[in-house]
Chain A
Amino acid sequence: MKDIIGKRNYFFLLSLLIIVPGMISMATVGFRLGIAFTGGNRITLHYKSGVSPADVQTEMDTFHVDAVIQEAGPGRVIITTKPLDNRPPGNGQKAQDQLIRDDLTAKLGAPEVQAVETFDTVGPEVASQLVYTAALLIGIASLFIVVYLALRFSVPGVGRWKFAVSAIVALLHDVFVLTGVFSILGKVFNLAIGEVDLLFVTAVLTVVGFSVHDTIVIFDRIRENLRFGGAQRLLRQNFEAVVNLSIIQSLARSLNTSLTVIFVLLALLLLAPQSIKGFALALLIGIVSGTYSSIFNASPLLVAWKDWESSGR
């Protein structure tokens, strides 16, 4: 039988190798923030043939609105700017944002289609509240899950909080892997897919749910083996062996479930519209991390904690 628990320090190390660079990146360069967090405008432009993204950049630079152009599939670019004035000065004069849209349509827009396909505005005040809300939501969701786990997983000899807290540590692991990887993708590699927007926050919250989902399945096996391990009564004295056995027993399930979800997410990543590709990637990273942390972090942590406790007494 494979010994996963025995090699736990290697697995903890591997996690740290991913998390530490991610944390350093988050602390130093932060995230490539979307307009939901910075405030600003975003325009998807469908331009006519013969126009290049560089032409769009040149045209936008004449307005002095800090325009950033990124390609979004054939014939399309996404233009991000600082917040544009949306109040018309009156007397039939156009507001700044409308002037820019009309200019783009007239000079660069593809004929016979809607040249400006999407147009989003976020005021800076909305944005600052969102960061706080996002962090709060993750906290609230985690708190409820800890309480639920504490109620469900109370095993004599292990106590009720070790399961709950270990699950939450694995959860935080996944959150940090995901946010760290996105910080590196967006800022260090400067990739558009690493942009952090509202869907990314949704993805993080979903990973919170999934991570615990995965961990629970293994914990359930541990709980069952500890309670009903009739022939394995001897094992009960050896907590480490029980946990290792439980991991091995649920290994096929953990991998198969993750595989099916990964198939679905890969389909989304390949086929979905540009606007949710980053979302699909975030979920993919989260699910892979969630599977890893359930097997190699959450349960080994349980053992490490119990060891530390018994050696301390």
Chain B
Amino acid sequence: MRINRWLALGVVLVALAAIFIDGYAYIYRFYNHIPMSAPLQATQVPTLFGRELILQKGLDLQGGSEVVLEIDPRSLPPGVTMDVAQQSTVDVMTKRVNGIGVREAVVQTQGANRVVVQLPGVDFDRARQLVGKTAKLTFRVWVAATPGPNGKLAIPKDATGDPIVDPGYVPVAEGGTCFGSATKECIPAGYLPKEFGLDGSMITSAVESTDQNTNEPNVSISLNDQGSTILGTQTQNMPSAPAPTNQLAIFLDNTMVNNANVQQPLTAGTFEIHGGNVSTDANYRKDLVATLNAGRLPGKITIVESNSVGATLGFDSVRRGLLAGALGLAVVVIFMISYYRLPGVVASLALLFYAMVTLAVFKLVPVTLSLAGIAGFVLSVGMAVDANVLIFERLREELRNGRSLAAAAEAAHNRAFPAIRDSNISTLITCLVLFLHDRFLPVGFTVAKGFALTLGIGVVVSFISAVYVTQLLLMLAIRVHRFRTARLFAVERMQ
């Protein structure tokens, strides 16, 4: 069989491109005068034509949190469909996440009523604080209420059945769990909060700021014209009213973030939120500002699933995964060379080509590598050898049947091909079903998707590598006269 020069050229070009992409981080370092061994800073990302050429690591490998949110259909305003709500939840979450500057965060829809938020490098408590709120900001005043038959106030419930004030703010005497003494911590006994037409949609901006008198950090909020008119009218007579009707409460969802005496009518259209977490927790302030600026969600959300991994454990997982891959590869190479001799060497070279190209494809796509993804890759190394084994077993058979080396190589290739094609396609079918299942099923297995993608890429590349690269290298090898001995092909005798 003659060597197809175009095929040879193609293989060489692909190999060179793969080496370039795999080693691009080093080219980037050299070009930008960054030492070869120093870790890259967050700003030093190897990019080529505006595209990042790095191996993207999943949360389980680099540490971070993933939160799955579910939108409660009962809480949607009339006329808002779940599709619209889901999309605007993604938009709002993206704004919030960008607001605190998380690098490479992912926000996407999942199934019919879920949204997934992935925050690399963010621990779980912070993640929950940032994405767990509906961020429905309401302004309320206190109205005296009649207690129920048991002498306690009945806290009204919202559309989803939750009380409009979290139990942590309801005094113990009223059946809640609020132990605070000052009226700022608990809702005033005997009073219920009532909205007066001002809400979060009338906010034009929220910024972190400092109180000029006390130097205490706070969050400053500006309202639009409509909002400042409503607030001005409402607070007109409040300063002289008896407590607690002189207090203005601000609720974020059902949590009371502020309750303060109105000293003078609020007509300027700006006011500050201070006290509690706002004054003491810098992250809380930052997240509150990001949340308010991103706008409220269309409906109520609950956290249905969350995963969080520490950075140290992630790093350990990468190291162990790579070690397992390297060991597996080494054993396979030793086995192939000792069993098949010269063809085994050829297969090992093809395996090297396979590993380089797969890595390059991972960087190009880009594939976000998870622990399951590494397992898929390691496993596909084992698979990649299969096609070679098929061809080499046939080669031995044909050689034993007395064919010449060239004829045997060609026959082995042709006869092994249907089995390689059909078996790889059946594995690809499984990969496709795994990878696309969340398009037609209501629930998604995130782990399965990552695994299917790496295994699928591995199968395609291994097919090319085993069928074409091995064949090419084998043809080149048998041109060398010294290689044409029975011993090197692990058969008893050869023509």
Interface residues of A (CB under 8 A from B): 44, 86-93, 98, 113-114, 116-123, 125-126, 129-130, 133-134, 136-137, 140-141, 144-145, 148-149, 152, 198-199, 201-202, 205-206, 208-210, 212-214, 216-217, 220-221, 223-224, 249-250, 252-253, 256-257, 259-268, 270-273, 275-276, 279-280, 283
Contacts and interface: CB of A to CB of B under 8 A. Distances in A.
Contacts of A224: 415, 418
Interface in B134-166: 165-166
A288 B317 CA distance: 26
B307 A120 contact: yes
Contacts, number: 239
B375 interface: yes
Contacts of B177: 89, 93
B156 to A, nearest CB: 16
Interface stretch (B3-11, B188-196, B211-219, B385-393): B385-393
B68 interface: yes
11 contacts: A90-B165, A118-B309, A202-B434, A206-B451, A209-B427, A257-B386, A257-B389, A262-B382, A263-B331, A264-B379, A268-B375
A220 B441 contact: no
B359 to A, nearest CB: 17
Contact of B335 (A199, A263, A280): A263
3 closest A-B pairs by beta carbon, nearest first, are A90-B168, A90-B166, A209-B430
Contact of B375 (A87, A89, A272): A272
Given A224-B415, A264-B328, A121 B310 contact: no
Nearest to B326: A267
A273 B305 contact: no
A259 to B, nearest CB: 7
Contact of B379 (A134, A220, A259, A265): A265
Given A133-B437, A220-B418, A272 B310 contact: no
B426 A271 contact: no
Contacts of A145: 426, 429-430
B441 A133 contact: yes
Given A209-B430, A260-B336, A119 B422 contact: no
Contacts of B271: none
Q: Determine which residue in B422, B430, B443 has the highest number of CB atoms from chain A within 10 A of its CB, and name it.
A: B430
Interface string B373-388: 0010011011101100
A198 B443 CA distance: 12
A268 B419 contact: no
Nearest to A261: B382
A91 B441 contact: no
Given A88-B168, A89-B167, A144-B433, 9 more contacts: A121-B303, A126-B68, A133-B441, A140-B437, A201-B445, A202-B434, A212-B426, A265-B328, A280-B375
Describe A's contact surface by its main secondary structure: helix
Contact of A118 (B313, B323, B382): B313
Given A118-B307, A260-B385, A44 B423 contact: no
A270 B232 CA distance: 70
Contacts of B277: 92
Nearest to A123: B304
B317 A273 contact: yes
Contacts of B317: 273, 275
Contacts of B125: 98
Contacts of B488: none
Interface stretch (B46-54, B86-94, B178-186, B233-241): B178-186
B389 A148 contact: no
B327 interface: yes
Contacts of B381: 264
Given A202-B434, A202-B451, A250 B393 contact: yes
B382 A265 contact: yes
Given A89-B167, A133-B441, A123 B305 contact: yes
Contacts of A275: 60, 317, 371
Contacts of B180: 91
A257 B310 contact: no
B128 interface: yes
A14 B341 CA distance: 36
Contacts of B28: none
A91 B166 contact: yes
Nearest to B431: A209
B434 A205 contact: yes
Nearest to A217: B419
Contact of B389 (A129, A134, A256): A256
Contacts of B305: 121-123, 126
A44 to B, nearest CB: 7
Contact of B166 (A89, A256, A264): A89
Interface string B406-437: 00000000010011001111110111011001
Q: Determine which residue in A121, A212, A279 has the highest number of CB atoms from chain B within 10 A of its CB, and name it.
A: A121
A44 B307 CA distance: 11
B455 A137 contact: no
A201 B415 CA distance: 35
A295 to B, nearest CB: 14
